[in-house]
Amino acid sequence: MAYYFVSDVHAGLLLNGKPTDSEARFLAWLDRVGPDAEAIFLVGDIFDFWYETPRKVPTGYDRLLDAFSALTARGIALHFFPGNHDMWTGNHLASSGLIIHNQGLYTTLCGRRVYIEHGDQQSIRSGGERFIQSIFRSPIARRLAQLFVPHRAMMRFGNSWSRANRAKFREQFPFGNEEEGLVRFAREYMHEHPVDLFVFGHLHNPTIYPLSATTTLYVLSDWITDPHPAYGRLDEHGFSLERY
């Protein structure tokens, strides 16, 4: 049995007005790894935009949610880490069996100490991005949106923002080595906690970066620009980035 890690599927993304094949490939991947999975860690931006209220949820994801329910019914734990595109989650995803982690998770798997997080909050590259993050992740802003902004209008805004963001950043984010925010965060975290593996998404750029002789930082790839997305696999032999 093994633990699997995947991020940045961006299911539901439209490019040039047409849906991508990322969701279909992801569903096929779930079928492939399911028989061997002890747990699957969904490390953020699985949905291109997700926004739910107590009365409304996004539509068009029935196949994906059914797949999640089928996996959890077989006893496979699904851990969901909201990314910057799907942070406004609620009870609906939890009802599909997902275990929601609104903060990074520090845990032990296969005898290895692992820290898991999407990474958008640690890889902020500008003051404007920091401001937008603070608004989007604010519980007050979320509550105000639920009270005063129609769900359809919020979904239109989110999908438009995502398309504009994709047009601006067509390529993967470059990994900044020691100047990278994920690296700075990891090194600070290591002062307080012994960690063998850091696993992040967000940068869309598969990366293996040694932090010390015993600690390695991994970044998973996206499922939009990468024809063979890199996902993580951890078993008794160790952690590896593998291609689908």
Q: What are phi and psi of 163, to 5 degrees?
A: -65, -40
Lowest mean pLDDT among 41-45, 149-153, 214-218, 228-232: 149-153
User: What's the predicted TM-score (pTM) here?
Assistant: 0.89
For residue 114, tell me if it sits in a domain. Answer: no
Q: Please check whether residue 49 lies inside any domain of the structure.
A: yes
What's the confidence (pLDDT) of residue 22? 92
Give the contacts of 135 (CB within 8 A, at least 6 positions apart).
141
Its domain, for residue 11, covers 2-103+127-172+218-243
Note whether residue 121 is domain-resident.
no
pLDDT at residue number 95: 85
Q: How far apart are CA 76 and CA 176, in angstroms?
A: 35
Q: Cβ(203)–Cβ(173) under 8 Å?
A: yes
pLDDT of residue 226: 86
The most confident of 14-23, 33-42, 82-91, 149-158, by mean pLDDT: 33-42
Alpha carbon distance 169, 222 (integer Å): 13
Residue 71 within any structural domain of the chain: yes
Query: What is the pLDDT averaged over residues 191-206?
Result: 95
**Domains held by the chain: number:** 1
Pairwise CA distance, residues 173 & 199, whole Å: 16
Residue 155 has pLDDT above 80, yes or no: no
Residue 149 has pLDDT above 80, yes or no: no
